[in-house]
Chain A
Amino acid sequence: MSEKEQNFEALKQLLKLKQHEVPPPGYFNNFSDQVISRIRAGEVSGAQTFTEQLEATAPWLVNFLRIFETRPGVIGAFATSLCILLVLSVVFAERSDESSKAVFSLTDPTTSATDGSVAAVSAPPLLAASESYGIAVSTNPVASLQPTTTLFGQSANAGLFQSASFAPAGQ
């Protein structure tokens, strides 16, 4: 370890050579003037560019986008993963449509209106008979809130509705 330290000492001394590298004489005399005049020019020309605004508000996003600039392979991988994600979401969306259709078909009154077994299964026994006026009551939150009939179709509870007419009164 001491030998290593000694070698590091030699290296540190060698690195001191860097301290003697200096810019051309007078370089710093104008440096701040150049900075200030560039700031003034920027103020005169107006607001910051979109990139500068983005860099000020969301530097993490700018850093993220810079990865793509420096590593083209990464953007390829990112685009591929996005495509895969899109395909998977389409496939799963179709599957979920199919499964929901299957669920609705079980409670669809047009197919099972005459069959009281479905309502009897999905609704509590006491409520099913007395309170399911147009709405099937069930603990199933999705399937049970479907109307038992369509608005304009034949309803088993047709007696609850009055027929409307546009004919003037007295006719």
Chain B
Amino acid sequence: MSEPAPIVDANSPTGMLEGDLVKRARRGDLKAYDELVQRYQQRIYATIYHMTSNHEDANDIAQDAFIKAYQALKSFKGGSSFYTWLYRIAVNKTINFLKQRKNKHHFSLNDLDFNTENNPDLVALISDKTPLRDVGLTELQKKLNEALLKLSEPHRMVVVLHDVQGQSHDEIAEIMGCNIGTVRSRLFYARQQLQGFLAEYIK
């Protein structure tokens, strides 16, 4: 795998390189770590939220993941990017949490944003392809989350990372510690399963 490009956040207050922030955070600079948290909080939270379908759980696990990452920063060798390493911690924490929660799903779904109804793909999907045309977006959201929770954790993780978050196969393989072939096969199987669960909403 090629060396990841240096990540600079144009919106960050300092615009510092990720590597410099990591070095400073390793020396105990909490301001630098605060910036790293701000950089990745949305993506980490979103991944955990899509895995758990519960806002409160996602909040707790995301915070725990960032704290664990800070405590383990000294063991971060820099073999992968900080972002991938952080993701791996979050993914492991989430999977451990889900194993302990096992079959005790309780939804605490976030609201859909205002742009949902303006998304042409979703509008087309509902108006053209869905047999139940009167189905509301909120109901569709609930059914989708229910279907996702029926998948095993590794299959759900692959779908969330690839189809929801747009990560590449390479990145997912690195985050999940498996090879690309496994990622592809899990993705195919998970999509087939989802297709079966959501058959009445997908023509």
Contact = CB atoms under 8 A, between A and B. Distances in A.
A52 B71 contact: yes
B168 interface: no
A40 interface: yes
Contact of A18 (B50, B55, B195): B50
A15 B122 CA distance: 9
Given A21-B109, A39-B70, A66-B96, A11 B202 contact: yes
Interface string B135-164: 001001100100000000000000110011
Nearest to B58: A23
A36 B34 contact: yes
Contacts of A11: 163, 191, 194-195, 198, 202
B111 A7 contact: no
Q: Is the interface of A mostly helix, strand, loop or mixed?
A: helix
Contacts, number: 116
Contacts of A77: none
Interface size class of A (residues with CB under 8 A): 35 or more
B112 interface: yes
A19 to B, nearest CB: 6
B45 A23 contact: yes
A31 B67 CA distance: 12
Nearest to A66: B96
Contact of B45 (A31, A36, A48): A31
B72 interface: yes
